[in-house]
Amino acid sequence: MLSNIIVFLILSFIKFYNFFISPLLGVRCRFLPTCSEYCSMSLEKHGLLRGVAYSLKRIIRCHPIKILGGASGIDLVPVKNYKPKELD
Amino acid sequence: MENKNVFIAIALSMSVLLFWSAFVDTPQPIDGQSSKASSSSKKNKITNSGIVPSIDGSTVKKNISRKDSLKKTNRILLENEKIKGSISLEGATIDDLSFKNYKVDIESNDIVQFLNPIESKNGYFIESGWASIGNRIKVPTNKSIWRAIGNNVLSVNNPVILEWNNGSNLIFRQKIEIDDNYLFKINQEVKNNSSEQVELYPYAQLTRKNIPEDLKGFYILHEGFIAVLDDELKEDDYDDIVEKKIEREADKGWIGITDKYWMTALIPETGEKFKSTFLYQDAYKANFLLNNPKVVAPSSKANNEIKIFVAAKEVQTIDAYAEKENIEKLDLIIDWGWFYFFTKPLFFAVDYLFKMTGNFGIAIVLITIMIRLVFFPLASYSFKSMAKMKALQPEMARLKDLHKDDKVKLQQAIMALYKKEQINPASGCLPVLIQIPFFFAIYKMLFISLEMRHQPFFGWIKDLSASDPTTIFNLFGLLPFTPPSFLIIGVWPILMGLTMFIQQKLNPAPTDPIQAKIFMFFPIFLTVILASFPSGLVVYWTVNNILTIAQQWFIMKRTTVKTN
């Protein structure tokens, strides 16, 4: 119940971000789907805990410095019931 | 609505009555029987109702002028490099204190009067003393007339000793010292000349009649009750305390009241457990009371030391005290916020630049440039790829149209396009996220900084911590009238709005028409909001915009030439 509310709040925040903040920052996505799409999808698919974990994992890879884990390209939300380990 | 007010009125009168009976009425009689009760229930008595700091609860309703009330009692004068004032011999309260180095405003020569006598309008004072269970022992109150022994002017290295005799063989003494900054040390002593052993609990209390007139009430800055108890920071607003008294037990720490620029703090003797209480009882009060009494056997003495800070929140001074006097986390009285570890070093950088250049505004401009430089490679990278992507937008639109219904296909097509055009992927979102703490840090630092107070910048900015005084509605002073305060929109906020508008124009406009309209209003909206903010902040924001525009414009220009 509580986790549903939190998921809903995060999703609303992402919508707010998409509408008001994202255009201010300009096109800067290295990944497709974009980080915001990825976060909402993973939250919808996997719920709060796993969704947030996947989202954070995505965001910390969203930069050009390869040795610090930077990556790019198509990167889909893992299918349900995958263990996070198998992500890599 | 009407009903609600009635209800509040009833509740208030009830609480007044309750407070009255609990604290003011007569000392609660604790007869021999109940004190013989089991030790655990005795303990409960102590914490629940038995002892309270023996405050003579009589409310001072009258408001006489500060000057008159200072004249009413005999006083010990005090002065050092930073503070001056006096201690009332009635109650031995520190109730008159001004900060010598801080003016009320830029024009006047009056210094900031911080502590005021109880009868003046903004009464704010500090007292210390002893409490006994059930108020059975006659202890000094705020009406007791103390006598100075020897020296009667308090200055650095010249302590003052006050004495009060309770008339039944207890002699109370206070040795008061000040250092060259903001610290009072009070060593209170009881000498027992009677034939019975007495138990007395040391306490100290801050009392403030009104919330400060310049209360910001702004969520990024805590003003009100504050304490660090067992290493944990506690912050309570004034209205929280009116609603509910808050008591906390602790092994170590300090309590106080913090304003935007000024503070008071009480520090109990180290190694003593104590109870801290924040309450509202005709006035805002913060006190501590030691858990264990000083047991004074017949014809012996007991001592207790209390440290009191009444200070301007100068970062270096407070930090030095935290270290020298070993007061844990006293530096948290300056509200550095969540990004403490950024905000504070940033402050030291700005302060260093300020001392180097002699102008706080120039220091702000320099620190803005430096932060921009740190992020220069990152920003360059992202502006570069943004510029390239902008050039590819028609092709992108075509692809979007082509793969309208298949998101995955579209994404693959876009990636293929990037590869073909040899575009490096953009810088991503992490670089932006990293900058957010920096932004907050500089914002907060400028908002809370006492060091920025009354510091001028160029031209009409005489005080960077105040809002820009000019306004567009009288053409920046050309027309001879002053518009109401919400229409004061100065030169700097307008510059900020303009630069923000230009910067927005450099980014691709949002495709959604409503969104585009909202974005048009964004700079205007922020201009109005920032107009009432400290001008130092607006200067920072404007300079940052200009630097962003310059960098982005330069890179975009170069990139377009290349793709052509």
Domain boundaries along the sequence of chain B: 51-334, 342-563
A72 vs B: CB within 8 A: yes
Res B274: pLDDT: 95
The side-by-side arrangement of strands in the sheet containing B253-258 is B147-149, B160-165, B170-178, B183-192, B300-312, B262-267, B253-258, B224-229, B232-236
Res B533: pLDDT: 85
Chain B residue with minimum CA distance to A63: B428
Instruction: Select the residue of A19, A64, A76 nearest B428 (Cβ to Cβ).
Output: A64
Taking 50 as the threshold, does the pLDDT of residue B116 lie above it? yes
**Weakest-pLDDT range from B9-13, B112-116, B188-192, B339-343:** B9-13
- Mean pLDDT estimate for chain B: 82
Nearest-neighbour CA in chain A from B421: distance (Å) = 15
CB contact under 8 A, B507 and A29: no
Nearest-neighbour CA in chain A from B426: distance (Å) = 5
Of the two residues B47 and B438, the one the predictor is more confident about is B438
CA B464, CA B455: separation in Å to the nearest integer? 6
Taking 80 as the threshold, does the pLDDT of residue B427 lie above it? no
Res B26: pLDDT: 34
Q: Are B481 and B563 in contact (CB under 8 A)?
A: no
pTM: 0.77
ipTM: 0.76
Residue B83 banded pLDDT, cuts 50, 70, 90: very high
Nearest-neighbour CA in chain B from A63: distance (Å) = 5
Name chain A contacts of B425, Cβ cutoff 8 Å: 29-31, 64, 72-73
Of the two residues B342 and B29, the one the predictor is more confident about is B342
Of the two residues B241 and B36, the one the predictor is more confident about is B241
CA B185, CA A83: separation in Å to the nearest integer? 62
Question: Nearest CA to B27 among B118, B147, B139, B152?
Answer: B139
Q: Are B520 and B348 in contact (CB under 8 A)?
A: no
Instruction: Select the residue of A33, A59, A73 nearest B429 (Cβ to Cβ).
Output: A59
pLDDT average, residue stretch B121-129: 92
Taking 50 as the threshold, does the pLDDT of residue B43 lie above it? no
Name chain B contacts of A23, Cβ cutoff 8 Å: 507, 509-510, 515, 519
Which range scores top for mean pLDDT: B25-34, B90-99, B465-474, B555-564? B90-99
CB contact under 8 A, A62 and B508: no
The number of distinct structural domains making up chain A is: 1
Chain A residue with minimum CA distance to B511: A23
Res B58: pLDDT: 52
Res A83: pLDDT: 57
CATH architecture for the domain at B51-334: Distorted Sandwich (2.70)
CA B140, CA B290: separation in Å to the nearest integer? 17
Nearest-neighbour CA in chain B from A28: distance (Å) = 5
Nearest-neighbour CA in chain A from B444: distance (Å) = 21
pLDDT average, residue stretch B111-138: 89
Instruction: Convert the pLDDT of each residue in B514-561 to its tens digit.
Output: 878 888 888 898 898 888 888 998 999 899 899 989 988 887 777 654
Chain B residue with minimum CA distance to A37: B407
In terms of residue numbers, what domain contains A82?
A: 2-87
Res B3: pLDDT: 45
Task: Tell me the three state secondary structure of residue A27.
Answer: coil
CA atoms within a 13 Å half-sphere pointing along the CA-CB vector of B217:
7
Res B38: pLDDT: 36
Instruction: Output the six-digit token pair for B390.
Output: 């902008």
Res B560: pLDDT: 59
A64 vs B: CB within 8 A: yes
Instruction: Select the residue of A33, A59, A64 nearest B433 (Cβ to Cβ).
Output: A59
Instruction: Output the six-digit token pair for B70.
Output: 């200072």
Res A85: pLDDT: 55
Taking 50 as the threshold, does the pLDDT of residue B6 lie above it? no
Res B429: pLDDT: 78
Instruction: Select the residue of A27, A72, A73 nearest B386 (Cβ to Cβ).
Output: A27
Res B23: pLDDT: 40
Report, as ranges of residue numbers, the positions in chain A whose pLDDT lies below 50. Answer: 86-88
Res B564: pLDDT: 41
Identify the DSSP state of B28: P
Res A82: pLDDT: 53
A79 vs B: CB within 8 A: no
Res B201: pLDDT: 92
Q: Are B328 and B322 in contact (CB under 8 A)?
A: yes
CB contact under 8 A, B411 and A64: no
Res B41: pLDDT: 37
Taking 90 as the threshold, does the pLDDT of residue B79 lie above it? yes
CB contact under 8 A, B507 and A73: no
CB pairs under 8 A between A and B: 74
Res B45: pLDDT: 37
- Which residues, other chains included, contact B300 with Cβ-Cβ below 8 Å and sequence gap of 6+? B191, B192
Question: Nearest CA to B254 among B325, B170, B327?
Answer: B327
CB contact under 8 A, B429 and A64: no
pLDDT average, residue stretch B504-508: 78
A69 vs B: CB within 8 A: no
Name chain B contacts of A76, Cβ cutoff 8 Å: 408
Of the two residues B309 and B337, the one the predictor is more confident about is B309
A6 vs B: CB within 8 A: no
Q: List phi, psi (to 5°) of B450.
A: -65, -30
Taking 50 as the threshold, does the pLDDT of residue B44 lie above it? no
Question: Nearest CA to B76 among B177, B143, B160, B140?
Answer: B160
Of the two residues A85 and B215, the one the predictor is more confident about is B215
pLDDT average, residue stretch B423-437: 73
* Sign of torsion over alpha carbons B336, B208, B534, B235: positive
- Which residues, other chains included, contact B164 with Cβ-Cβ below 8 Å and sequence gap of 6+? B92, B140, B144, B145, B146, B147, B171, B172, B173
Nearest-neighbour CA in chain A from B411: distance (Å) = 6
Name chain A contacts of B408, Cβ cutoff 8 Å: 76
Nearest-neighbour CA in chain A from B519: distance (Å) = 8
A65 vs B: CB within 8 A: no
Res B10: pLDDT: 47
Suggest the residue from A14, A25, A29, A60 to mutate for an interface test with chain B (most B CBs closer than 10 A): A29
Of the two residues B201 and B472, the one the predictor is more confident about is B201
